[in-house]
Amino acid sequence: MQKRETPLKAIILVGGEGTRLRPLTNGLPKPMLPVLNKPFLEHTLNYLSHYGIKDIILALSYLPEVIQGYFGDGSKFGVELTYAVEDQPRGTAGAVKNAERFLDGTFVVLNGDIYTDLNLADMLAFHRQKGAVATIALTQVDNPGAFGVVETDQDRRIRRFIEKPAPGQTSSNWINAGVYILEPEVLNYVPQNSHYMFEKGLFPLLIERGDPVYGYQFSGRWLDMGTPEKYRSLNCDLLLAEGKGIFGELKPDGQYVADDAPVHPTARIIGPAIIASRCRIGQRACLRGPVVLGPDCSIGDGATLEDSVLWRGVRVGEGARLEHCVIGDDTEIEAGEQLLNRTVVREEDKDSHKPHA
């Protein structure tokens, strides 16, 4: 079968409700969480654009109107977006099957809550060189027992999957990284209008059939945001590692301070730090990076922030101290309050499903 070389399409699995990320995801799909003050999905679109992938399908199930309202047809972001909305969650492979009508050649699938610097061009070359029907990106972890482990032979052909292996059950520490390159014919084995998974359904079936399924091993950055702690770490790690390349406007000292964000002369900012528009930093306040402040935040006199992410409109009282925290929109931290390893949202947001971006 003649495989199309270009253009490559991509499907992003935007995912469901994100229960492990509550209360941050009450009323907000996971990929819309702000990362360096932009929806995480926007970073993913930029990543795909870097590899010339402009035709992108978003597989939506939870609050699709939030994403559609923000991104529209994608033209403002330099891409062309198509939406495949599920009437009910259909699993990873089922979501792609629901978008099958938009596919006409080799395509990429990405989990919508994963950040990676995987070289897609190199992975595609590997896929074509092997003549694969499916290629799965693999990344190494220290504790494979918490993941689904993938075993390959010397040619990188996948032999089996082991879900959360017990100690000694496998010598592999390569796991599924949530990025796939697939040929459209593999969707013939995915049932219509059903909940069906790549990991436990389609991929094991293809291997059982003897179809060429390969693992592409890479050693680059791979981060997810499956919990509030991982979400905070994602923001902080990106700032620490390569904030300039991702954000684009950090100064040599690792700081970005919006022109309309007044900072008192006695305040100390130790980068990396992003301070968005209309933020106010009081006298003797100390921000020790990595720190991200969304628009309209107010940091009171003598307050201290370290290794924290604040969303839009957060008010931190005088003398308060925040370390390793994520603070949701329009939350007020009282004067003198001490918060460590906390995720805080307004009371009225804890059980809400208000669409906002």
Catalytic residues: 164
Q: Distance (Å, rounded) from C-alpha 187 to C-alpha 62? A: 23
Terminal CA-CA length for the chain: 43
Q: Distance (Å, rounded) from C-alpha 62 to C-alpha 218? A: 31
- Output b/e per residue, 88-99; b: 16+ Cβ within 10 A: eebbbbbbbbbb
| Of 80, 18, 28, residue with least CA distance to 55 | 80
The SS3 assignment for 118 reads: coil
| Of 308, 307, 315, residue with least CA distance to 333 | 315
State the amino acid at position 83 in one-letter form.
Answer: Y
Q: Distance (Å, rounded) from C-alpha 104 to C-alpha 82? A: 14
